[in-house]
Structure 1
Amino acid sequence: MAPKRSFVPIFLLLSFSALILFSLHQSSLPISSSSSSSNSLDHSSPTFNALPNRQPNTPNFTLTIKVLAFDRLASLSRCLLSLGNADYVNDRVNLHIFIDHFKDLDSSDNGSVNLDLKLNESREILDFVDGFSWKFGEKMVHYRTGNVGLQAQWLEAWWPSSDDEFAFVVEDDLEVSPLYYRFIRALIVTYYYNASNFSPSIYGASLQRPRFVPGKHGNKIQLDSGTQLFLYQLVGTWGQLLFPRPWKEFRLWYDTHKGKGIKPYLQGMVTTGWYKKMGERIWTPWFIKFIQSHGYFNIYTNFLHERALSVSHRDAGVNYGKTAGPDSYLLDDSSLDFNLVEMQPLNNLKWYDFCFREVLPDRVVRSFDELGSVLHSVQKLGTIILVSLHNTSEPATRNMLCHFERLNIRNYIFVGPKSNFQLDLARRGHPVIDVDQFFESIRAHKSIGFPESTLELIKMILVKTYVIKKSLDLNYNTWVLDGNMLPVSNDSFLDSIHSSYDFYVGKISELLFVRRSSLAWKIWVHDFMGKVAKMADSSISEESFLRDGRNFVYMVANLLEQKGVKIKGVDDMSFDVNADTDNVNETFLVDGKKMVFWSYQMGVDVIQKRLEKLGMWIVDGDFSCTAVVCYQS
């Protein structure tokens, strides 16, 4: 334990000066707010897509350290002394200390004795923080009138006043490196103010050593020695830097969910068990559920040899029944053997989810030339699943993704028109094909003209045709399905691989399978693609096209029948949820069906009710998965 010091109380003059400077410094940049109807929860893409209006070489930001304390004087003393010994490179850094009040004592025989002990304990802490000299900026002490607990300590510690105000939150049993601020400053400049390295998915940075994977049955944290920085969804409570906009977004989300009595339950996560046991004493399950629903990430360090810029001594308190000792070794000048402030470009960093499974964000295919590498990255057992977003609702698509996660289906790629939803899917790590740009790359190459009346429909058909061609070129099998369909089991896309049929066709369900074979390649390239081009040059209207039922799968089936190709019907594999589902249960579907599907005309509310009866609606009010499902790599 660090020895006590005596400090000259000069904070009155400093506080007055700091207040003036702090007021002058605040930015008046507007904050983008989330928009949502009164009847639904916000589940949209990030509201902070635009960069703050600052030049990357001259950022003008404010950092405030938020120290959360309770009744551990020795711990608080060690924490504040380490903060005071850090190098702040002549920057102004504010210090806010929040001291929680002790709990009300019962009226037992020794209640007055215990009360006196608690009062003396609080006064010793207040005397210490009053005498603690902070020469780097404003020092503020907030001594609570009642015991609010750890959750309120965190959530009430900060409401950003601008897009240029950051918070570094430390609990009182932490000790920070003298180098920590130099690192934080370089990180903010690089990943918040530099447009080439900015991502709306990043909510902050943790200075603790990563040790914990909250997803049950997830991978162990294994990083190579060359990985100094990486992104990981988990929030860190032992020295967490928070970015302003995501934190505001979280607080508003928390208010909505807490006010409506919605619990932060997330099946498959260890932290949900903590919440069920400890309830509102802890705050991390709330933030974890928010992160999962919004697809956000945190920057972490990997300094090797169990070193970190922030170390928890794990003193006895809410999280530990008895003192466990430091979790890592503190990085300082004597152990520094690399350039601490040299930051890698964001596109060089790896991203990991709650299962510590790698995520590949922003895979958007915009041309035929870009397609091959993405198909190669997603294929599994030489098979690709092409999912159309045309005429598909966002809730239904997110529900499909939850089924893919539950069944460990990861070899899919979405195809659809450019939209905020499509970009959000890509941001979260789901590969997508931008139909509009992909189509333009094909049209420019082939010089094909298309009638405007059927353009949107032709785009989808032509792009699907070229994706299947590329898949066959790469010797991959291809499933094609629309977003109005769900797999029932994890073998829904596997049985066909070992069959003797080259084509599986479902005229009703609009499901298609194309096997990797020389016959399939010949028919596809020499016959079907030519027919599509001829159809595109015709003057048929979109209305008659739809009336005749000539969708993509219909066209494939018609051509194959004309050529006498042996095909396998798959409509008997599927169950139409438009039918009466009162007497249908999930066991029946698992035993007899591979897919369920529904009409495009069916509304989202009806789809949800029908799928709930089948136990297949597995998204919550945010349209995020109700569970995290981990499979070890």
Structure 2
Amino acid sequence: MSQKRRFYPLFIILFLSLPVLFILSLYHSLSSSSSSLPITTHFQNPNPNPKFSLTIKLLTFDRLPSLSRCLRSLSTAHYDTDKVNIHIYIDHFKGLDQNDEYLDRKLNETRKILNFVDGFEWRFGEKVVHYRTGNVGLQAQWLEAWWPALDHEFVFVVEDDIEVSQLFYRYIKGLIGYYYYNASNYSPSVYGASLQRPRFVPGKHGNKINVNKDTKVFLYQLVGTWGQLLFPKSWKEFRLWYDTHKTKGMKPILNGMVTTGWYKKMGDRIWTPWFIKFIHERGYFNIYTHFLNESALSVSHRDTGVNYGKTAGPDSNLIQESSRESDLFKLEPLRNLKWYDFCFREVVPDRIVTSVNELGPVLKSVQKRNGLVVVSVDQKSTALTRNLLCHFERLDVWNYIFVGPGADFLLDLARRGHAVVNADALFGTLKEYKSSKLRKEVIVKALVVKTALEMKYDTWLLDHNMVPVKADFFVDSVKLDSTVDFYVGKRLGLLFARSSGSGTWNDLFVNEIAQSVGGGGFGFMAGKLLERKGVRLQRFDEGLGFSVKIDAGNDNGALLKNDTKVVYWSSDTGSGLVQNKLESLGLWIMDGESNCKAVICHPS
């Protein structure tokens, strides 16, 4: 990243083509501010009596040596006095249009596998063998292996070329107790845990996996297929989602992902693109372990099969019982863990401002290069806000915070890693202002801007009713005089406040905004008030090729030009009409379920 360009006000930086760093991880240190050091906890008994069952699901086909190695490692693990069942799923070979010699050979291979499995002693619980009558492939092997009847049933899924450490069960038992049954460490966003070594980033052009050597556990969206612990609620949710999409002929296409290329080549021979699409829609995460010397509790030997044309050998070093890995059985509270998306960008979930005291730290975690943008949440159509977020990702914009009512949608944005201000909750703490639904969000916005300016952050404030088209938004059309503290757009009411104007934008000014009467958006209202106070204010025209307004009468295809930087609409324009117009312009970049069509990685 270049550090040599001169500083521009925030919204200029937001849409420049320069890459920007992802959101800072201040939230983690903020949440654990009671101690300057990470808190680690031995997980031998995180819950005095977590009542759950765990079943090992072993998926195999025609690799007897691999199966033998896998079962041997599972049978030598430490289950202590716990009952652990094992279910072995043996897929059938394809027998259509084959000669007798081939069929006899495949039948003989299968009988050897069946004889071995039948004679294999499992001393820790029930052994169930499911021998299929036809070839179903790897996708069905995974998806049909489990339907959780209870929320306290867990499975650990291994394919036959996996080898596990003797310590694997004790470790996942601790994970379940600590991150599923311990209320202070539970999150509905976590769907399971992978014991394999993290080594793959599916987002094209994403960052390399790079975590601190002292980090033992982190969260990452990608599912692991080389030893995956699955939580019951999220797996059942996925199966229902899969049934709906599969039945209706939908495909797990997620642009910008390497796995989508796999699906286009291999189709339904593999299942992971389906699960990845589901995880992207829901915003869920997987627990991953990280140990030194490329070691892991579950190792894939990458034997010849569906995924490998020839044997590639073990991907990692298996952790032995005599391992000298320090603090192997220690876990940090969930609030201390790092979270990463499919591009391996850091995500900071649950930053929700509900009081004045929380405002400063959250703003600090969002701003970049002393710049900030405040965005109003669209209360009429959540899809419009989601589409704006897709464009932010497309343009590598992360310096934003949303302000809106404390609805489920706002809370879900926070869960997914977007910083938000709960206007209802924050306003409820402002006893000096009269409760008024009309003025609530106005006062909160004014207070957010005031706090940002006091923190020396240049701040742009915009309403939801616009979509940026290009990364050089504002650069060419707005000539910002460094001696002017405030700019207001003539058409869109965009507001820019320079940090040097904090003396004007003070508590008195917030009170005056609360008492002012006027129509239009926040920018127009603030601009009129600033002018009445005699503050030097400059207005700029966002027209003249800079922007395009869409409405029922416009031929938008003709209006959109090469130099168009933003498309906007009036607040009284119906959301359905807006969506149709944006679709015709190629600016509606979501699928039919209001999820971004693509994952776009911008390496740090």
Same fold (TM over 0.5): yes
Query: How far apart, in 1, do the equivalents of 2:315 and 2:481 lie?
Result: 54
Equivalence for 2:381: 393
What's the CA shift for 1:189?
0.2
Candidates 180, 183, 188, aligned match of 2:176 = 188
Report how far residue 278 of structure 1 moved: 0.5
What is the CA–CA distance in structure 1 between the aligned matches of 2:556 and 2:281, rounded to whole Å?
33
Greater Cα offset, 58-67 or 507-516: 507-516
Counterpart position of 1:410 = 398
Aligned to 1:67: 58
C-alpha contact (below 8 Å) 1:608/1:617 kept by paired residues: yes
| CA apart distance, 1:516 | 2.2
1:515 aligns with 2:498: yes
Aligned partner of 2:262 in structure 1 is 274
Alignment match, 2:317: 329
The Cα offsets for residues 84-121 of structure 1, whole Å up to 9 and x where unpaired, read as 111012111110000000012424xxx11111000000
The residue that corresponds to 1:4 in the other structure is: none
The residue correspondences of 1:548-559 to structure 2 (distance < 5 A) are: 549-559=519-529
CA offset at residue 311 of structure 1? 0.5
Whole-Å separation in 1 of the counterparts to 2:438 and 2:565: 28
Distance 1:235 1:585, change over 3 A: farther
The equivalent residue for 1:582 is 555
d(CA) in 2 for partners of 1:227, 1:603: 49
The reply to whether residue 351 of structure 1 matches residue 339 of structure 2 is yes
Q: One-letter code of the match for 2:487?
A: Y
- Stretches of structure 1 that go unaligned for 5 or more consecutive residues are 1-54, 536-544
How far apart, CA to CA, are the structure 2 residues paired with 1:261 and 1:489? Answer: 34
2:127 paired with 1:139: yes
Amino acid at match of 1:411: N
The aligned residue for residue 471 of structure 2 is: 490
* Alignment-derived partner of residue 264 in structure 1: 252
Compute the displacement of 1:390 (Å): 5.0
2:378·2:385 contact (CA, 8 Å) conserved in 1?
A: no
Cα 1:159–1:493, aligned 2, differ >3 Å: closer, same or farther? farther
Alignment of 1:190-589 (within 5 A): 190-443=178-431, 448-450=432-434, 452=435, 455-492=436-473, 499-500=481-482, 501-506=484-489, 508-517=491-500, 520-525=501-506, 528-535=509-516, 549-562=519-532, 563=534, 565-572=536-543, 573-578=546-551, 580-584=553-557, 588=561
The 1-side partners of 2:383 and 2:405 are apart by: 17
Partner Cα separation in structure 2 for residue 493 and residue 302 of structure 1: 43
Could you tell me how far apart the structure 1 residues matched to 2:325 and 2:447 are? 51
Secondary structure, counterpart of 2:250 in structure 1: coil
Q: Displacement, 1:198?
A: 0.1
Decide whether aligned partners of structure 1 residues 327 and 569 sit closer, same or farther in structure 2, where only a CA change above 3 A counts.
same
Deviations 1:283-328 (A, max 9, x none): 1011001111110000000011011010000000000000011111
- 1:86 corresponds to: 77
Indicate the residue corresponding to 2:153 in structure 1. 165
Is this contact kept in 2: 1:509–1:574, CA < 8 A?
no
Equivalent pair of 2:439/2:514 in contact (CA under 8 Å)? no
Letter of the 2:590 counterpart: V
> 3-state DSSP class of the match of 1:479?
strand
Q: Does 1:594 align with 2:594?
A: no
Aligned residue type for 1:464? K
Cα deviation 1:2-35 (Å, max 9, x = unaligned): xxxxxxxxxxxxxxxxxxxxxxxxxxxxxxxxxx
Deviation at 1:605, TM superposition (A): 2.5
Task: Indicate yes or no: 2:93 matched with 1:102.
Answer: yes
C-alpha contact 1:385 1:478 (8 A) present in aligned 2 = yes
Give the 3 Å change call, closer, same or farther, for CA 491–379 of structure 1 in structure 2: farther
CA distance in 2, matches of 1:494, 1:361: 31
Aligned mates of 1:318, 1:531 — CA distance in 2: 68
Larger RCO (CA within 8 A; separation ≥ 6): 2
AA aligned to 2:586 is G
TM-score (norm: length of structure 2): 0.89
Q: How far did residue 381 of structure 1 move?
A: 2.9
Residue identity in the other structure for 2:195: L
Q: Could you tell me whether the CA contact under 8 Å between 1:231 and 1:350 is conserved in 2?
A: yes
Alpha-carbon distance between aligned partners in 2 of 1:595 and 1:579, rounded to the nearest angstrom: 18
3-state SS of the aligned residue for 2:89? strand
| Larger displacement relative to structure 2 (364-373 or 354-363) | 364-373
Q: Could you tell me the percent identity over the aligned residues? A: 60
Q: Give 1:528 deviation, angstroms.
A: 2.9
- Counterparts in 2 of 1:142 and 1:398: CA distance versus 1, 3 Å: same
Partner of 1:48: none
Counterpart Cα distance in 2 of 1:621 and 1:92: 45
Q: List runs of 5+ in structure 2 lacking aligned partners.
A: 1-45
- Structure 1 pair 529–123 and aligned structure 2 pair: CA distance change class (3 A): same
Residue identity in the other structure for 2:565:
K
Counterpart of 1:123? Answer: 111
Quick check: 1:581–1:613 contact (8 Å CA) kept in 2?
Answer: no
Alpha-carbon distance in 1 for matches of 2:373, 2:445:
11
The 5-angstrom pairing of residues 43-62 of structure 1 reads 56-62=47-53
Residue 550 (structure 1) shift? 4.9
Shift of 1:342: 1.8
Using structure 1 for the length normalisation, give the TM-score: 0.85
Equivalent residue letter for 2:576: D
CA distance in 2, matches of 1:534, 1:560: 14
1:548-605 CA-to-partner distances (Å, cap 9, x unmatched) read 52542222121233326331224424322115443535851x51x3322223333332
Between the aligned partners of 1:160 and 1:270, the Cα distance in structure 2 is 30
User: Is the contact between residue 207 and residue 345 of structure 2 (CA under 8 Å) also seen in structure 1?
Assistant: yes
Change (3 A) 1:526 1:371: closer
| SS of residue in 2 equivalent to 1:333 | coil
Q: Relative to structure 1, is the Cα distance of residues 585 and 619 closer, same or farther in structure 2, using a 3 angstrom cutoff?
A: farther
Q: Which amino acid counterpart does residue 415 of structure 1 have in structure 2?
A: V
Q: Which amino acid aligns with 2:105?
A: L
- 2:216 and 2:479 mapped to 1: Cα distance? 41
Alignment partner of 2:330: what SS? Answer: coil
Contact 1:507 1:553 survives alignment (8 Å): no
Q: Secondary structure at the match of 2:557?
A: coil
Determine the C-alpha separation between the residues in 2 that align with 1:298 and 1:466: 37
In 2, the alpha carbon distance for the partners of 1:63 and 1:586 equals 60
Contact 2:139–2:268 under 8 Å retained in 1: yes
Contact kept, 8 Å, 1:390 with 1:417, in 2: the verdict is no
State the distance in 2 between where 1:87 and 1:340 align.
15
Aligned residue for 1:524, secondary structure, equals coil
